[in-house]
Amino acid sequence: MEIWAHRGASAVAPENTMAAFVKAYESGADAIEVDVQRTSDGVLVIMHDETVNRTTQGRGYIYSASFAWLSQLDAGYKFSSSFHGERVPTLDQTLSFVESTSLRINIELKIVQNTYVGIEEQVIDAIKQRDLTDRVVISSFHYPSLRRIKQLDPNQAIGLLCTQYNAVTPMYAKQFGAEAVHPHWKTISPTYMNEAFEQNIKIRPYTVNDPRIVRTLNAWGIDAVITNHPGLVRKVITTN
């Protein structure tokens, strides 16, 4: 079972920061999951929310902020004073870090309607510039963006995010050319897993932090879990 670190090792470091990505790598994660947004001047940055309010001292929407302003924000201190001074990483900084490790990366496209026009092209360009296609999976709850990604690069692996896995989910995955479905963990079952396996579709549930759930999913033979706590999950599956 692979371990994918949700927003990096976000249980032990501020989410979606370089500190969280480094911790994920050090804890034995196989991949990091990150969320991408875009500033008013077109820089792709790693943040989960549409605004900077929850994770930094600033206020406002990312799409209306300049990168110069955003890059001054402190993305660490709200998590803990020991992370004071952590910055919001750009996608390119994050790809550069991934390149220097054996990690893979799951880039989740966060789509703000009518605002991030052309973000799919930008993300594909950033990946290609570093020749990282084989180490990237792009996921989104916004399926038109996944369709666009496949049009831009049929070799780019994509994962269909869904809050509710159901009997027709594999059919959707096939239609979109997705190699995987990333569902909420509560909605999957061994039956669904076997059906997906037969159709060569991987299931990587989010967000799995409870050791009991980790053990159950591992026993089912799940492909990967997306977790805030890669170190804990590594310990659980190696002491099983």
Q: Does 206 bind ligand G3P (CB under 6 A)?
A: yes
Interface of this chain with ligand G3P, residues 144 to 183, rule: CB under 6 A: 161, 182
CB of 15 to ligand G3P, least distance (A): 9
Give the binding-site size for ligand G3P (rule: CB under 6 A). 10
Q: How many CB atoms lie within 10 A of CB 73?
A: 18
Q: Does 46 bind ligand G3P (CB under 6 A)?
A: no
Q: Does 35 bind Mg ion (CB under 5 A)?
A: yes
CB of 182 to ligand G3P, least distance (A): 5
Look up 142 and say whether it is catalytic: no
- Phi-psi sector, 8: left (phi>0), alpha (psi -120 to 50), beta: left
- Classify the C-alpha dihedral 131-137-141-143 as positive or negative: positive
Which one of the listed residues 6, 142, 182, 229 is annotated catalytic?
6
Closest CA to 160 of 117, 204, 194, 199: 204
Look up 84 and say whether it is catalytic: no
> In a 10 Å sphere around its CB, with 0-12 CB exposed, 13-18 middle and 19+ buried, how is residue 191 labelled?
exposed
Interface of this chain with Mg ion, residues 96 to 115, rule: CB under 5 A: 108
Return the active site residues: 6, 48
* Positions that interact with Mg ion (CB under 5 A): 35, 108
